[in-house]
Amino acid sequence: MWDEVDPSAPVKYGAVIAVTVICVVLLRKWIAGGVCRSSVQLRGKTVLVTGANTGIGKETCRDMARRGARVVMACRDLTRAARAADEIRQATGNSNIVVRHLDLASMYSVRELAKEFTASEDRLDILINNAGVMMCPKWLTEDGFETQLAVNHLGHFLLTNLLLGKLKSSAPSRVVNVSSIAHKGGKIQFDDLFFAKRPYNSLVSYRQSKLANVLFSRELARRLKGTGVTSYSLHPGVIRTELTRHVETWFPMLRAILSAPSMLLMKTPTQGAQTSIYCAVTPGLEHKSGSYFSDCAMTETAPEGRDDVVAKRLWKESARLVGYIEKD
């Protein structure tokens, strides 16, 4: 004898599916976070973005181009950068996109870019220090620096200082430093910045470099007070980008396990770029120079990110390491 079919079953299943879809949509909206609503145009302005050929750097360039800016994409891989630049030109109709070589693991490369930029560009309205590496093996750069601190902090420290003349002459101008919530729990180990004395830990190193971003931005704001140049640091969110490639290499199963959840639980590069864009273009942020942002809103850093004594010491040590002599 056939079991009777519940005539309400399709309705129940439909309701479950509908509720599931609504929950997924709401979850994705929550994960996406803040959106930059500013309609500010940047015609006649010049924006320099590091690490611009992929991820949030590329999406930041796309947004700046849509606003009419001259966009200088500073990248290590010129082939990929050229492809990204062509894509942005076609998508935005803005042909004023320039690619420049920059390897932040080389202080020589940083100096060469700064020299080239200063000689060829009339102004610099927005500098977005976006490039970074995450939890890579213990590699030393050609200058003898541990790679994460070199790329994430020291290279950007030197680049920013070498371009201060352009930033000041173009004021009001902004410096945007892409940090991370990973700065929480970080510590600047002045007696062993490059893990020469202690066992290397890629996460500890990453946290140190991201804390350095926050402290650098804070000290930069203090030093530039009254010049018209302002500085901001930010957490872009957890994003689906190539930044996690080293972690996935160590744990090959991780990529397979997390690939599906990541589609649901991580921001897209476009969503991840929103806070960088917000800090770059939103009017009225001048009085918030030195502050830290997340999801397009100012938020408080971890206590270690507000230590001005450490920030000043880090500045002096960074200047010594990269050979930067400040002008009076």
Question: For residue 72, what are its two tokens?
Answer: 């200088």
Report the amino acid identity of residue 197: K
Q: What's the pLDDT at 20?
A: 46
Q: Tell me how far apart the alpha carbons of residues 198 and 251 are, in angstroms, rounded to a whole number.
A: 24
User: DSSP label at 300?
Assistant: P
Q: Tell me how far apart the alpha carbons of residues 291 and 280 are, in angstroms, rounded to a whole number.
A: 13
Q: Tell me how far apart the alpha carbons of residues 279 and 56 are, in angstroms, rounded to a whole number.
A: 14
Q: Which residue has the tokens 């390897």?
A: 103
Convert the pLDDT of each residue in 145-159 to its tens digit.
Answer: 999 999 999 999 999
Question: For residue 222, what are its two tokens?
Answer: 């203090």
Convert the pLDDT of each residue in 168-191 to its tens digit.
Answer: 999 999 999 999 999 999 999 999
Band of pLDDT at residue 259, cut at 50, 70 and 90: low
Q: What's the pLDDT at 267?
A: 82
Band of pLDDT at residue 326, cut at 50, 70 and 90: confident
Nearest Cα neighbor of 122 from 55, 12, 44, 61 is: 44
What residue ranges define each of the domains in the chain, with the CATH number in brackets?
Answer: 36-322 (3.40.50.720)
Convert the pLDDT of each residue in 278-325 to its tens digit.
Answer: 999 999 999 999 999 999 999 999 999 999 999 999 999 999 999 999
> How long a stretch of residues is the chain?
328
Residues marked as catalytic: 206
Convert the pLDDT of each residue in 112-134 to its tens digit.
Answer: 999 999 999 999 999 999 999 99
Band of pLDDT at residue 16, cut at 50, 70 and 90: low
- Whole-structure pTM value: 0.86
Asked if pLDDT for residue 30 goes beyond 50, the answer is: no
Q: What's the pLDDT at 238?
A: 77
Question: For residue 308, what are its two tokens?
Answer: 């001005």
* Averaged pLDDT of the chain: 89
Nearest Cα neighbor of 132 from 220, 64, 188, 210 is: 210
Q: What's the pLDDT at 132?
A: 96
Q: Tell me how far apart the alpha carbons of residues 229 and 168 are, in angstroms, rounded to a whole number.
A: 6
